């Protein structure tokens, strides 16, 4: 019998990896300047990069146990992207299985690529991750990615596979950002995302994610997609953007609020929950 790592269910499970949110420069700077976020809330990583496609850009990641909030600084003349949902698979071969699932759905299309990176000591670019980019329509300001990292990428970070061979997000984040200091930081994980999107965009997102265990329910303002670990609220609107995140916390101080310029606020509602709002 094949080992569990090589035996995949017909429908693999994509877990939320991170949420991308575009914010204005003042808001980005205010979040970056709030040292408390990195000291006691969540692990932080600030990155400045240059891309032949996106140009120069800055990102700030705030990580929980297994998920990450990634803020992008808006720049004049930059990319029209407003945000995105990035899911990841934990088992080798899941991307291929996921493509088979999506190929069987009449109302879902996607683009696939095996992304490679140049690595010191290697003659050829190495496979880094499998990218499934769900088609959300022409000119979409959002992306929906389903990714599977390669063992080569995992090893490059110093991350170790689980005993059953799974490439888990917790080990990836611990290797990239450092471990969670025994619970000193209160941010657990992202449990809810609210996004304003057009009706067509909501339909495309729902059509893709319901293939992977999410249930769809109509609401007064749009569509709700839910699974045991995550709820996505898609509100129908002409101005498309991420408007809020619901965060699971561990031992936070209720009533604490952080205001980041005029574009964002983080509200701690209880020891176990917070809302991160974007205006």
Contact 244, 275 (CB under 8 A): yes
Residue with tokens 């265990």: 213
Positive/negative CA dihedral, 50, 51, 56, 61 = negative
Q: Which residues pair with 133 in a beta bridge?
A: 111, 145
Highest CATH level, class, for 11-278 = alpha beta
Q: What is the pLDDT of residue 217?
A: 98
Can you give the pTM of this predicted structure?
A: 0.92
For the record, the structure tokens of 212 come out as: 């992977």
Q: Which of 216, 193, 200 is nearest to 141 (CA)?
A: 200
The answer to whether 12 and 91 are in contact (CB under 8 A) is yes
CA 256 to chain centre: 25
Instruction: Provide the sign of the torsion angle of the four alpha carbons 46, 61, 207, 141, taken in this order.
Output: negative
Q: Which pLDDT does position 80 carry in this prediction?
A: 82
Can you give the residue ranges of every domain in the chain?
A: 11-278
Report the Cα 242 to chain-centroid distance in Å. Answer: 12
Does residue 143 contact residue 85 with C-beta atoms inside 8 Å? yes
Give me the tens of pLDDT residue by residue for the chain, a chain 279 residues long. Answer: 333 443 445 899 999 999 999 999 999 999 999 988 888 899 999 988 655 445 567 899 999 999 999 999 987 776 788 999 999 999 999 999 999 999 999 999 999 999 998 888 888 888 999 999 999 999 999 999 999 999 999 999 999 999 999 999 999 999 998 876 555 789 999 999 999 999 999 999 999 999 999 999 999 999 999 999 999 999 999 999 999 999 999 999 999 999 999 999 999 999 999 999 999
Tell me the three-class secondary structure of the chain, residue by residue. Answer: CCCHHHCCCCCCCCEEEEEEEEECHHHHHHHHHCHHHHHHHCEEEEEEEEECCCEEEEEEEEECCCCEEEEEECCCCCCCCCEEEEEECCCCCHHHHHHHHHHCCCCCCEEEEEEEECCCCCCCCEEEEEEEEECCCCCCCEEEEEEEECHHHHHHCCCCCCCCCCCCHHHHHHHHHCCCHHHCCCEEEEEEEEEEECHHHHHHHHHHHHHHCCEEEECCCEEEEEECCEEEEEEECCCCEEEEEEEEECCCCCCCEEEECCCEEEEECCCCEEEEEEC
List of residues 6+ apart from 186 with CB closer than 8 A: 40, 41, 42, 249, 250, 251, 252
CA geometry: angle 147, 106, 137, nearest 5 deg: 60
């Amino acid at each position: 019998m094949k080992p569990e790592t090589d035996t995949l269910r017909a429908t693999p499970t994509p877990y939320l990896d991170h949420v991308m949110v575009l914010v204005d420069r003042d808001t980005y700077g205010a979040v970056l300047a709030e040292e408390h976020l990195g000291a006691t809330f969540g692990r932080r990583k600030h990155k400045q990069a240059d891309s032949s496609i996106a140009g120069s850009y800055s990102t700030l990641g705030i990580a929980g146990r297994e998920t990450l909030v990634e803020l992008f600084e808006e720049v004049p003349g930059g990319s029209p992207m407003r945000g995105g949902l990035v899911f990841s698979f934990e088992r080798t071969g899941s991307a291929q299985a996921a493509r088979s699932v999506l190929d069987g759905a009449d109302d879902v299309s996607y683009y696939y690529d095996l992304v490679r990176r140049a690595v010191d000591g290697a003659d050829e670019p190495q496979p880094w991750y499998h990218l499934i980019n769900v088609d959300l329509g022409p000119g979409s300001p959002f992306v929906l990615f389903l990714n599977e990292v390669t063992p080569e990428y995992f090893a490059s970070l110093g991350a170790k596979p689980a005993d059953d061979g799974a490439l888990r997000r917790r080990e990836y984040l611990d290797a990239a950002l450092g471990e969670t200091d025994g619970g000193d930081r209160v941010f657990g994980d992202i449990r809810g995302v609210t996004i304003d999107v057009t009706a067509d965009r909501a339909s495309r997102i729902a059509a893709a994610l319901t293939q992977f265990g999410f249930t769809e329910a109509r609401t007064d303002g749009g569509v709700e997609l839910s699974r045991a670990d995550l709820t996505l609220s898609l509100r129908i609107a002409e101005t498309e953007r991420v408007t809020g995140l619901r965060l699971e916390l561990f031992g936070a101080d209720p009533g604490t609020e952080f205001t980041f310029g005029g574009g964002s606020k983080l509200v701690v509602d209880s020891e176990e929950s917070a809302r991160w709002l974007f205006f």
